[in-house]
Structure 1
């Protein structure tokens, strides 16, 4: 019975070993998606199991970028003890524990590093089909400082459009507009595209005046920009023109009054001159009459 049991155990171990030998190369990737902040380093895992010696081990990492998924590039290769890096990644990519694992490290990560990575392992004389592991790398980027602008008519009754845009951010930033004083109020926003949004304010009034904030947020943080609006009254805007009109009217009235007074003065002066001439003529006539008095004529006959 014991002998029979021993044979049975031996048979099980023999079958298990045979299955292990014929199971071929196995590649395992621990994580299907990995995220890294732009500028940091990241380790991309690729574990493998093989029952054959590693003298002919071959590992190839490729990347299908999100920007061009149908044009994969070769990132790094380990082939018969030699390591070959893509020229664009020299100094930024390396194996971490070759030949015991196929893990690689990518440092100084860039947005162009994001995409689908494939780890292909081949170790002859095992099965000709390489083991393949696949994972997705996402490179996160904080929102850039948004740019705030406004355009429109700031007179009461006019309309104003507030615009806000960011140059970059991964994941795509959420954009919000708020009025900060006298109390914080969230404003409805019209998204023109993924990275810009605007708010339209119609029939503005003095209550529209205040400080407005545009916020761009994602998992890495929030950036803000501000616009300060000052709405003026249309009547206040026209008061200067009305005042100028009143001053012009007063000036013309004063000029007319001055001309009238001058005319009266000249007229009076002219009459005084005529009165004086008449009096002088009368005096001269009187003088002539005195010079030819009858007494003188009488004296001439004596």
Structure 2
């Protein structure tokens, strides 16, 4: 049984000794036996009638050859170059020279080295916390094993650490600042190794109370600022609305009505001026008309029928304009 790493070279041995009784032609044949017994054997390379035939198996074209260019010397070993994981399987060498026949089976396992190994940290890197260092390879044949160590100093892991070689996890319990430093993880299997590094920095706990208080204060300030902006916007909106209402309510000024007393005064003044201008010399054109006195009951009845007429004020006004007495003249309005 052979175990090789992917990309390497392997030589599968096949030596033989011919007998004097063997008189027929020499045939050397290499075949790949499938894992499924229902399938036929696959010829890889063959030597017959002093010629080499290596075009039977396309998956290995250009990657296989006889170790000895002249297999008749008793060495029919096979070289396989640049191994791949798909090359894993059972190979058989057959040597024929009539009447003798010899065969030999060889198990080949192609393993993949660990590769693309990554290191990471899980958990808060604060004093007193449990921290997990993780290590995992993206490639590699099983069984993979992981090992952690510190790069600087004694390279010894902390006393509280717990290592799981199968999963690659390193648990650091109740971490302290002394745990800070560079750690290395080595992933390995039977054919190779791969390594990654991670930097651990254990720090004092963060003052969460101060952060929370700051967040609360900041939130309150933000709410206050928002409320102030809303208040300013509402105030501005009300001012604009009030200006529009005042603008629409402006009307043309109307002069106030004259009072009845001022009207009466003007009327009295005008009549006095007209009466005062009458003299014996300029009254000749006027005709004397006897004055008919209105019965008091008729006057009272007439004024009573008009609710808007004030008898006392009207009488005074009439007497002021035209005093009756014994005058023979009357002024008709």
Which residue pairs with 2:7 in the alignment? Answer: 39
Q: For 2:81 and 2:8, locate their aligned partners in 1 and report how far apart those are by CA, in whole Å.
A: 6
TM-aligned CA distance change 1:62 to 1:148, over 3 Å: same
- The answer as to 2:49 corresponding to 1:49 is no
Counterparts of residues 1-302 of structure 1 (less than 5 Å)? 33-51=1-19, 52-55=22-25, 57-64=26-33, 68=35, 73-81=42-50, 83-84=53-54, 85-95=56-66, 96=68, 97-100=70-73, 101-124=75-98, 126-127=99-100, 130-139=101-110, 141-169=112-140, 172-181=143-152, 183-186=154-157, 188-192=162-166, 196-217=167-188, 222-234=193-205, 236-238=206-208, 240-241=210-211, 244=214
CA distance in 2, matches of 1:47, 1:118: 12
C-alpha deviation, 1:150, in angstroms? 1.5
Deviation at 1:36, TM superposition (A): 4.5
1:135-181 deviation digits (Å, cap 9, x = unpaired): 33344554324211121122333222211112334684531012334
Quote the offset at 1:238 in angstroms: 3.1
- The unaligned stretches of length 5 or more in structure 2 are 222-333
Question: Which runs of 5 or more residues in structure 1 are unaligned?
Answer: 1-32, 252-302
Task: Kindly report the root-mean-square deviation, in angstroms, between the aligned alpha carbons of the 2 structures.
Answer: 3.4
Q: CA deviation at 1:80?
A: 4.4
2:150 and 2:197 map into 1 onto residues whose CA distance is 10
Between the two proteins, the alignment pairs up a number of residues equal to 207
Q: Distance in 2 between matches of 1:53 and 1:173?
A: 52
Tell me the TM-score normalised to structure 1 length.
Answer: 0.56
Any conservation in 1 of the 2:145–2:168 contact (CA below 8 Å)?
no
More helix by share: 1
Counterpart secondary structure, 2:207: helix
Output one character per residue of 1:63-101: Cα deviation in whole Å (capped at 9) or x when no partner: 347xx5766643223344552431111111122323333
Partner of 1:294: none
C-alpha displacement of 1:190: 1.6
Residues 93-120 of structure 1 show CA distances to partners (whole Å, capped at 9, x for unaligned) of 1223233332222122223223332112
Distance in 1 between residues matched to 2:137 and 2:23, nearest whole Å: 54
1:59 to 1:168, Cα distance in 2 relative to 1, 3 A:
same
Q: Deviations over 1:30-77 (max 9, x none)?
A: xxx44545334333221223332352x333212347xx5766643223
Distance 1:104 1:54, change over 3 A: farther
Report SS of the residue matched to 1:165. strand
Bigger shift: residues 236-245 or 89-98:
236-245
1:182–1:210 Cα contact (<8 Å) kept = no
